[in-house]
Amino acid sequence: MSKLDILLMAWQNLLRRKVRTFLTVLGVLIGTTSIVVMISLGIGLKESITQNMAQWGSLNQITINSFVQFDEEGKPIGEAKALNDNAVEELRSLSGVLAVSPGYEIGGEASWGRRQGYISLVGLDPSQMRQFEFETTRGRLLESEDRFNIVLGGMVGYNFRDPSKPMEPHDEIPWEDRHLDEHNPTIAMVDERITLNVRNNTGRERKFSFNVIGMIDPLKMDRSWNAYAPIEEVKDIRTFIQGNTAKNNRARTDNGYVQGPSSDDYNFIWVQSENIERTKDLSKEIRDMGYQAYSMADNLEGIEETSRIIQAILGGIGAITLFVAAIGIINTMIMSIYERTREIGVMKVIGATFSDIRILFLTEAGLIGLAGGFAGLGLSYLLSFVVNKVTANMFGPGMGAEFAISMIPPWLALFALVFSFFIGLLAGLYPANRAVKISPIEAIRTS
């Protein structure tokens, strides 16, 4: 029997009992839909949390601080290894590391034209900037030959105001709209000069001027309030600030941290890993080496665990529904075989082989599964769309345009179709074997 003939015959047989076939397909439809929608919610949940976290810092970046942290009794937790060039080399040699940049962090008053403000200046290896997923919305990033050039975080402009005016135009802008281009004063700073005024502990004052060459996406929360300059320049400023007391070791600061062994040491070292999976392991490895390492990805473990559990529970509920649907298929097929006993007998008498009969009934069951799968997938897309629309309206535009609580990736769609088809086949196995075992004489005798 040719495959096409089997398919056609199975299809005709299903159409003979339209209501029954429809109801059985409906069962599979509900089962498939509940599985797909449940899993899509799990995926969407995890994705939106990950996306949300990525706003607060790259998930591929590990920050190593020079601080020693103290517990409640004031004893140091662990030992802070010195953040020097040896450390940079050591970190660079780890596997899965794309880039390493040491850095300094200083703060100071700055002026931009007539406006005054405060700038938190981060010095880093300018050649590595691109590797650390910096992206400009205006201008360009730092290159290795840049000197006294600076890239601003997307919100830095809000720190500046004209002392002669009571209000700046941006004071009126609500917080959730401040990142928008039409309001953001930072845009006007690109290609202009800003001057940093620093005073060292002997009271001497000095000005350092920078050209603003670029601006970073204001939605990158962890970077939008800093300014980035080549490390050598920032080191010079730092040396000036520390002045004669620069060689004071382990100066304890107010906030419970202690500086590393030498004042020449870097404030921090950034490590960029090749992917999120590697970041988690790398972060732990670096901590085990004795550094104070931290990464946004450290939190992912727990989130992933939670979302796995949620997915398992939701998927389980869907699986039960599909299981019930499978029983529906078995029931329908057995009913159908009872009704068609005579027909099966006739087919056997006139030359249908065992495998013809088996394949015919398996095909019917498989078609029910597949039809339910397709319809269920369609309904899932619809439900997913509605759920996303509703939640997007509820939580508002603050969550970002791509926020979706229900996501159906292609693999899930494919999985739904294949799975429902196999559920159909599986449910058809027992009825098909019953059909094969029908004795043709018995079947024909019943009139």
Residues forming contacts to another protein in the complex (CB under 8 A) are 1-2, 5, 9, 12-13, 16, 342-343, 346-354, 356, 440-441, 444, 447
What is the SS3 string spanning 323-334?
Answer: HHHHHHHHHHHH
Closest CA to 365 of 325, 393, 396: 325
Taking the complex as a whole, the smallest distance from the CB of residue 326 to another protein amounts, in Å, to 26
Smallest separation (angstroms) from another protein to the CB of 371: 19
DSSP H stretches of helix in 17-58:
18-55
CB 53 within 8 A of CB 59: yes
Measured CA distances, 237 to 113, 202, 243, 435 (Å): 21, 14, 10, 88
Nearer to another protein, 119 or 344 (CB): 344
199 or 342: whose CB is closer to another protein?
342
Six-digit token pair at 447? 């009139």
Q: How far is the CB of 345 from another protein (least distance, A)?
A: 8
Q: Which is nearer to another protein, 142 or 344 (CB)?
A: 344
Give residues with Cβ within 8 angstroms of 103, minimum separation 6: 122, 123, 124, 125, 231, 234, 266, 267, 268, 269, 270
Q: Which lies closer to another protein via its Cβ, residue 129 or residue 443? A: 443
Give whichever of 77 and 441 is closer to another protein, judged by the CB atom.
441
AA letter at 429: L
At residue 345, the 3 state secondary structure works out as: helix
| φ and ψ at residue 102, rounded to 5 degrees | -80, 165
In the complex, what is the shortest distance from the CB of residue 364 to another protein, in angstroms, rounded to a whole number? 13
Q: Are 25 and 376 in contact (CB under 8 A)?
A: no
CB 18, min distance to another protein, A: 12
- Residue 139: φ, ψ to 5°: 65, -150
The answer to whether residues 137 and 201 touch, using CB atoms and an 8 Å cutoff, is no
Q: Which is nearer to another protein, 393 or 447 (CB)?
A: 447
**Shortest Å, Cβ 439 to another protein:** 8
Nearer residue to another protein within complex by CB, 335 or 352: 352
DSSP one-letter code for 107: E
CB of 5 to another protein, least distance (A): 5
Q: Which residues pair with 12 in a beta bridge?
A: none
Residue number, 251 or 349, with CB nearest to another protein: 349
CA dihedral defined by 396, 398, 399, 405, rounded to 10 degrees? 0
Taking the complex as a whole, how short is the minimal distance between the CB of residue 350 and another protein, in angstroms? 5
DSSP annotation of 180: S
